[in-house]
Amino acid sequence: MNFPRRMMFAVALACSATTPSHAQAFDAHITIEADRPGAVISPNIYGQFVEHLGRGVYEGIWVGPDSPIPNTRGIRNDVVAALRRVRIPLVRWPGGCFAELYHWRDAIGPREQRPRGVNTAWGDEVETNQFGTHEFMDFVEQIGAQPFISVNVASGSPAEAQAWLQYMTGPAASGPGQERAKNGHEAPWKIPFIGVGNETWGCGGNMTAEHYSDVYRQYVSVLKPYGTLIASDANSDDYAWTETLLTRALFRHPPDMPTTLAYIGKQAQIGMISVHFYTFAGNDWGKKSAAVGFKEEDWAAAMDRTWKTDDLISRHTAILDRHDPDGKVGIAFSEWGAWWATEQNRPSNLYQANTLRDAVIAGLTLNIFQNHAARVRMANLAQMVNVLQALILTDKEKMLLTPTYHVFDLYQGHQGGTLLPARVTAPDYALKAVKIPSVSASASRVNGVITVSLVNLDPRRAANLRLEVQGGHYSEARGRVITAESLDARPTFDGPDPLAPRAIDGVHVRDGVVSVVAPAKSILVLELRATALKSASAQPH
């Protein structure tokens, strides 16, 4: 976060965030265990997902070099600048289900000569192939991110995937490198992350876990030299998938290797397993909540569903812990976000409004990822622009930053920080069948500065928060908050943004205890600065 210098010693900061007082505030106590530092929070958990779907790529990113919308080599400048501001670390592309029908050769070479295909994954729309490998790599370079390429398993082959990786990464003197140079890029690219299929239990081939595990092993043998391999996802709580995958594809017992672990140590076949999990208002794909104009019941059901992310990660982690006790294999949460009822005029778009509810879901989910930093090493919001829970929405030449974008902005202080466990004592939020923790907290430290992200998901009651740092003494606190009066408050393309983060009014630090009010339905991010550390175990990161 960038605060003006005059705000550095914030005891009382300017604030105009509205705090609806529908019910009496509750007290919550948070202890940050600065003397028990954990894993480093990978910046890659703030990663994004981009698919050829609706206006996610075309218009959202790519407008073409001749467009009146300001662009650099066809990529819109406003979107690039916005993404750079929040330090997006990586982007997964080209899908999604689209990746499973994608043939990369259709989208290289002179753009006017590229064949036009049909996007049978999403509404049979014409795929112009104007945005291909070179355009994607240009885009990630412009935003300063890393590429995560998802290769085609359902309608592709190990040979096609291998040829793509050779084309992208081969030395300039090699055949594939010469072809790449002829198409405008002499220097080889680096592809640090490769996804082997997408939803191979569904659109990625309708495979059983057993069959996919064996197919995965075949892809490993040709893709291993190129980057970290990410195995296709378990569908949410399909723990049997993870169990089978790790049993069949992580372990091979070569006779000359004394132990399985020695083998893993030398050649990790699986860099990460992936998990996909979407938030609805409830647990039913078929009954989706409207993106706006919903009731508190829908709010509660969506928060309940979001909290399940925590249990989901714990249970996949428990399986990993058995198969990989040394913690070499990570979890890539390669699709997550809210999925609301789509606009009926063009359902294949998956375009949806983004409200305060989405911001709270984003804050809660990122807190959960951070708190599982030991295993969760990547996550990809579905999807970055104009699709599902996007960071950015566009309307031709106009662009808006969604409430979800603001959360990613506020959470930047956690990138690369050392996780500090945060214990929360607070009453539950309850409505009808829903009963869930009302407050979520996550803390990390970089260079002695502690970032604390706090979510009060109770839509009616403010929380009187008291924060203590165990093993450290902090005398300065400042922060920003996202909140609004209405559950579905949202920005428009032309008006002021009701959810733009604001400096928090009334952060008090007394005897090392920070007190602050978290308005109902809010996300707060605080920065704590120490004047003195108590013990050697609480050294800066």
Contacts to ligand AHR from residues 175-214, by CB under 6 A: 198-199
Distance, CA of 355 to CA of 485 (rounded, Å): 12
User: What is residue 328's three-state secondary structure?
Assistant: coil
Closest approach, Cβ 387 to ligand AHR, in A, equals 7
Residue 199 annotated in active site:
yes
Closest approach, Cβ 50 to ligand AHR, in A, equals 10
**Encoded amino acid at 323, one letter:** H
**Sequence-ordered strand ranges (E) for 21-156:** 26-33, 47-49, 71-72, 75-76, 90-93, 117-119, 125-127, 146-151
- If one counts every other C-beta atom within 10 angstroms of the C-beta of residue 199, the result is 25
Closest approach, Cβ 274 to ligand AHR, in A, equals 10
Structure tokens, 333: 């949460």
Exposed e or buried b for every residue in 399-433, given b needs 16+ CB within 10 A?
bbbbbbbbbbbbbbbbbebbbbbbebebeebebee
Structure tokens, 207: 């495979």
| Residue 47 makes contact with ligand AHR by CB under 6 A | no
- If one counts every other C-beta atom within 10 angstroms of the C-beta of residue 214, the result is 13
Closest approach, Cβ 199 to ligand AHR, in A, equals 5
Which of 386/415 has CB closer to ligand AHR?
A: 386
Near ligand AHR by CB under 6 A, which window of 140-148, 302-310, 380-388, 492-500? 380-388
Contact by Cβ (8 Å): 133, 167: yes
Contacts to ligand AHR from residues 83-112, by CB under 6 A: 95-97
Which secondary structure element, helix H or strand E, spans residue 316, and what is its range?
helix 296-323
Which of 125/527 has CB closer to ligand AHR?
A: 125
Near ligand AHR by CB under 6 A, which window of 177-185, 207-215, 298-306, 381-389? 381-389
Among residues 33, 51, 100, 199, which one is catalytic? 199
What is the C-alpha end-to-end distance of the chain, expressed in Å? 18
Q: How many residues bind ligand AHR (CB under 6 A)?
A: 10
Which of 27/124 has CB closer to ligand AHR?
A: 124
- Output Rg (C-alpha) for the chain, integer angstroms: 23
Pick one of 125, 135, 335, 458: the residue that binds ligand AHR (CB under 6 A).
335
Near ligand AHR by CB under 6 A, which window of 127-135, 153-161, 352-360, 382-390? 382-390
**Sequence-ordered strand ranges (E) for 427-488:** 428-431, 434-437, 439-446, 449-456, 463-470, 473-482
Comparing every residue's Cβ against ligand AHR, the nearest one is 96
Which secondary structure element, helix H or strand E, spans residue 399, and what is its range?
strand 398-401
Pick one of 33, 51, 304, 458: the residue that binds ligand AHR (CB under 6 A).
51
Which of 330/337 has CB closer to ligand AHR?
A: 337
User: What is residue 442's three-state secondary structure?
Assistant: strand
Which of 283/537 has CB closer to ligand AHR?
A: 283
Nearest residue to 229 via CA among 163, 171, 161, 167: 161
Would you give the binding string for ligand AHR spanning residues 252-281, x where CB under 6 A is met?
A: ------------------------------
Which residues lie below 8 Å from residue 399, measured CB to CB, with a gap of 6+? 76, 78, 79, 82, 392, 393, 493
Which of 232/244 has CB closer to ligand AHR?
A: 232
Distance, CA of 275 to CA of 277 (rounded, Å): 7
Pick one of 61, 364, 382, 517: the residue that binds ligand AHR (CB under 6 A).
382
Which of 213/383 has CB closer to ligand AHR?
A: 383
Residue 59 annotated in active site:
no
Among residues 186, 335, 468, 476, which one is catalytic? 335
Which of 35/51 has CB closer to ligand AHR?
A: 51
Which of 288/480 has CB closer to ligand AHR?
A: 288
Please report, to the nearest 10 degrees, the dihedral formed by the alpha carbons of residues 152, 158, 162, 165 taken in order. 20
Which residues lie below 8 Å from residue 320, measured CB to CB, with a gap of 6+? 242, 246, 273, 327, 329, 331, 375
Looking at the annotation, which residues are catalytic? 199, 335
Q: Which residues bind ligand AHR (CB under 6 A)?
A: 51, 95-97, 198-199, 335, 382-383, 388
